[in-house]
């Protein structure tokens, strides 16, 4: 009870900030790598910083600097950058039912990355409406600022950092699969959902292993959805929005 | 960066932002319309299913370790096991991630020392 009342007194933005901390394990090493790659490709620290502030989409930033450095046509560089990010179109509609009216949402959509979506999709339904804008602001802002700070660090001292602590860059990113596992496990509410989600995980893993990381996310999700529609196993919850949410209400609370 | 590249970068940035924003505006309109029409579930069923599938796909993509050797894969499997075990006990977000990362690190170091 005591813990619950402390939890209820915490401002929404602080809860979001705290719950997004695991994302840093993935964001900081990758953004340091981006800063390093960008400067090696001939971009200045300021240019690297501006790219991270404005585009703010990991894989497409790597592609942008890589293609620009190799002298690819500009229209193709921009088109490929946008094509990688097309998967984001399904994120906001999935969150929309849990977004209370606020003039802040259009601005906050800049922070809707894969990871922030995964976190918000699990947490927003569990929060009271009054705290959702604050929660999203805190979580998205921490993720964005860590990405910017990591990019700058990578651009200025990336080479030194990776040579001094090589293991850190290997261990920290495990925070991402650990976090996503915790977010997805409560959704294994029936054999039908379990089968479909497992297919999605396995398909994405295979896509990544064969080098199709970016197309792997929408492709694997489509495989999982197809599996969901094709198989007819007992379903206890999940397809009904309300039922699915009840199943996760007490789960995924921040420590 | 040349002026041309700056413009290209800005187009990519605005395009990425619109990819995130426009679907929200579309769905908010759809939700407002459905509220006016009556209690109809405005979120298409395929979208309800696709949301968790996208999270599962992001999990699948992130499973591949930075160094995909035997030590990396072993650490991934054990790290996920520990993450799951802590989640079952605590039902929280933070502790399972902390436990998983620490386990992953310890297993990688030990496996590299042994191997």
Together in a domain, B55 and B72: no
Together in a domain, B51 and B97: no
Inter-chain contact B9–A172, Cβ cutoff 8 Å?
Answer: no
Instruction: Find the Cα–Cα–Cα–Cα dihedral A129, B15, B10, A51, rounded to 10°.
Output: 60
Whether B9 contacts B1, CB under 8 Å: yes
Of A78, A183, A229, the CB nearest to B55: A183
Going by pLDDT thresholds of 50, 70 and 90, the confidence category of residue A85 is: confident
Residues 6+ apart with CB under 8 A from A234: A190, A191, A192
| Residue count (chain B) | 115
Residues 6+ apart with CB under 8 A from A20: A116, A119, A138, A139, A140, A142, A143
A15-36, pLDDT tens digit by residue?
999 999 988 887 888 888 889 8
Q: What does the block give as tokens for A181? A: 């596992």
Report how far residue B94's alpha carbon sits from residue B108's, in angstroms, rounded to the nearest whole number.
21
String of b and e for A162-172 (b: at least 16 CB within 10 Å)?
A: beeeeeebbbb
Note the ipTM here. 0.84
Q: Which domain holds residue B20?
A: 1-62
pLDDT for res A2: 45
pLDDT for res A163: 81
Inter-chain contact B65–A174, Cβ cutoff 8 Å?
Answer: yes
Report how far residue B72's alpha carbon sits from residue A37's, in angstroms, rounded to the nearest whole number.
24
The full set of domain ranges for chain A reads 2-173
A200 reaches B (C-beta below 8 A): yes
Number of structural domains found in chain B: 2
CA distance B74 to chain A (A): 13
Together in a domain, B9 and B35: yes
CA distance A170 to chain B (A): 6
Together in a domain, B49 and B71: no
Inter-chain contact B61–A207, Cβ cutoff 8 Å?
Answer: yes
Residues 6+ apart with CB under 8 A from A141: A13, A17, A111
Together in a domain, B72 and B57: no
B47-98, pLDDT tens digit by residue?
778 888 988 988 998 899 988 999 999 999 999 999 999 999 988 777 888 8
């Amino acid at each position: 009870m005591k813990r619950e009342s402390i939890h209820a007194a915490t401002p929404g933005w602080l809860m979001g900030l705290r719950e997004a901390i695991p994302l840093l394990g993935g964001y900081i090493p990758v953004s340091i790598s981006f800063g390093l790659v960008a400067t090696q490709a001939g971009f200045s620290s300021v240019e690297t910083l501006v790219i991270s502030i404005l585009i703010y989409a990991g894989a497409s930033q790597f592609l942008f600097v890589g293609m620009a450095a190799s002298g690819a046509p500009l229209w193709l560089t921009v088109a490929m950058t946008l094509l990688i990010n097309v998967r984001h179109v399904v994120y906001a509609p999935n969150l929309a039912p849990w977004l209370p009216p606020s003039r802040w949402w259009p601005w906050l959509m800049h922070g809707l990355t894969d990871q922030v979506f995964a976190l918000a999709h699990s947490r927003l339904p569990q929060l009271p409406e009054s705290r959702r804008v604050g929660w999203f602001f805190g979580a998205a802002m921490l993720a964005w600022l860590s990405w910017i700070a990591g990019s700058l660090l990578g651009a200025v001292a990336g080479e030194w950092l990776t040579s001094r602590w090589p293991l850190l860059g290997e261990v920290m990113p495990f925070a991402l699969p650990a976090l996503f596992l915790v977010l997805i496990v409560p959704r294994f509410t029936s054999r039908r959902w379990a089968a479909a989600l497992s297919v999605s995980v396995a398909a994405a893993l295979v896509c990544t292993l064969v080098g199709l990381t970016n197309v792997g996310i929408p492709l694997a999700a489509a495989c999982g959805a197809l599996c969901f529609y094709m198989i007819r196993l007992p379903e206890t919850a999940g397809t009904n929005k309300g039922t699915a949410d009840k199943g996760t209400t007490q789960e995924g609370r921040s420590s | 960066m040349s002026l041309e590249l700056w413009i290209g970068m800005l187009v990519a940035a605005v395009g990425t932002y619109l990819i995130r924003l426009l679907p929200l505006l579309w769905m908010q309109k759809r939700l407002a319309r459905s509220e006016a029409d009556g209690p109809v579930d405005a979120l298409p069923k395929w979208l309800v299913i696709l949301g968790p599938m996208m999270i599962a796909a992001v999990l699948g993509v992130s499973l591949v370790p930075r160094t995909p050797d035997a030590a990396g894969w072993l650490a991934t499997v054990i790290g996920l096991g520990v993450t799951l075990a802590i989640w079952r006990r605590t039902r929280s977000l933070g502790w399972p991630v902390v436990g998983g990362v620490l386990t992953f690190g310890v297993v990688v170091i030990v496996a590299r020392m042994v191997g």
